[in-house]
Amino acid sequence: MSAKIIDGKAVAKSVRDDVAAGVAALEKDHGLVPGLAVVLVGEDPASQVYVRNKGIATREAGMRSIEHKLRAETSQDEVIALVRRLNGDDEVDGILVQLPLPDHIDANAVINEIDPDKDVDGLTEVNAGRLVLGKEALVPCTPQGSILLIKTVMEDMSGANAVVLGRSILVGKPLASLLLAEHCTVTTAHSRTRGVEEVCRQADILCAAVGRPEIVKGDWIKPGAVVIDIGINRVEAPEQGPNSEAKGKTRLVGDVDFDAARAVAGAITPVPGGVGPMTIACLLKNTLTAARRRRGL
């Protein structure tokens, strides 16, 4: 059997088209243009690429992109002062502080300054709490995008065994909450989990968000399972194949050994072209949602 490849780019395109239509309607009916502010501290090259791509996608959807690039030496107080200024700026509907932040800055302290109604990453205590309680929340983009991709191949997740590898605040934990809300039986595995391979083999839905290149092998996967590969790992690519994504001497791989997994799984997301594009699409969706809700629409 060869797995169905889930086309994240195509699904993301349809989400972005919907957002663009919503943005156009908001401007026509209410004269409002949503604005997304992205804060980047330091010069991490990968983060610079993401931030640039987010800016392009934001403008393509018809929204305003406000980019704040701060030096790596910027103090925590300065970052917090900026976040407070963005909270008070009526032109700003969404605020995203790119992670990771430099070591001298406490990410929690910064994130908890973000107005929960502008928290398009869904990282504040208020939104994380609302998600766990099943209330209306701004939901983290990568988990939200992962669920949309699962739904393209599985109409009803009710009763399915879902395993999430990873328990970060950005990905693993909120994804487990969303799968639970879809009535899955959810297991969260992490670096202390014993017998992680055996745990994975029980999964009808296996989501990997670990950050270790190709850690999930073919024999970790239950035949026919839906595999969502969230990992984005840049590895050396000395061979420089025809892969157009290969830049310089590196290439992107996920947390799943794709070639082995596709022989076993029922459906699988590729890297690149899987969850990554959905993260950006859902960020735009959250920004539109935040803009509407903030005005009571």
Ligand X SMILES: NC(=O)C1=CN([C@@H]2O[C@H](COP(=O)(O)OP(=O)(O)OC[C@H]3O[C@@H](n4cnc5c(N)ncnc54)[C@H](OP(=O)(O)O)[C@@H]3O)[C@@H](O)[C@H]2O)C=CC1
Ligand Y SMILES: Nc1nc(=O)c2c([nH]1)NC[C@@H]1CN(c3ccc(C(=O)N[C@@H](CCC(=O)O)C(=O)O)cc3)C=[N+]21
- Which stretches of the chain bind ligand Y, using CB under 6 A? 49-50, 53, 96-99, 121, 141-142, 232, 245, 252, 271-273, 276-277, 279-280
Q: Which is nearer to ligand X, 82 or 170 (CB)?
A: 170
Residue 137 tokens, joined: 């929340």
Smallest distance, Å, CB 260 to ligand Y? Answer: 20
My answer on whether omega of the bond before 277 falls inside 30° of 0, hence cis, is: no
Query: Residue 89 catalytic?
Result: no
The reply to whether 285 belongs to the active site is no
Among 26, 150, 162, 189, binds ligand X (CB under 6 A): 189
Query: Could you say whether residue 285 binds ligand X (CB under 6 A)?
Result: no
- Which residues partner with 67 through β-bridges? 38
Q: What are the C-alpha distances in Å from 143 to residues 53, 169, 226, 238?
A: 19, 11, 15, 32
Contacting ligand X (CB under 6 A), which of 34, 35, 122, 166?
166
* Contacts of residue 195, Cβ cutoff 8 Å, sequence gap at least 6: none
What x/- string results for residues 216 through 255 when contact with ligand X is judged by CB under 6 A?
--------------xxxx----------------------
Q: Which of ligand Y, ligand X, none sits in contact with 97, Cβ below 5 to 8 A by type?
A: ligand Y
- Cβ at position 142, least distance to ligand X in Å: 4
Binding residues: 166-168, 232
137-168 burial, b for 16+ CB within 10 Å, e for fewer?
Answer: bbbbbbbbbbbbbbebebeebeebbbbbbbbb
Rounded to whole angstroms, the Cα distance separating 79 from 72 reads 11
| Alpha helix segments (H runs only) across 37-159 | 45-60, 76-87, 107-111, 125-133, 141-151
Q: Does 198 bind ligand X (CB under 6 A)?
A: no
Q: Which residues here bind ligand X, judged by CB under 6 A?
A: 142, 165-168, 170-172, 189-193, 196, 209-212, 215, 230-233, 275-276, 279
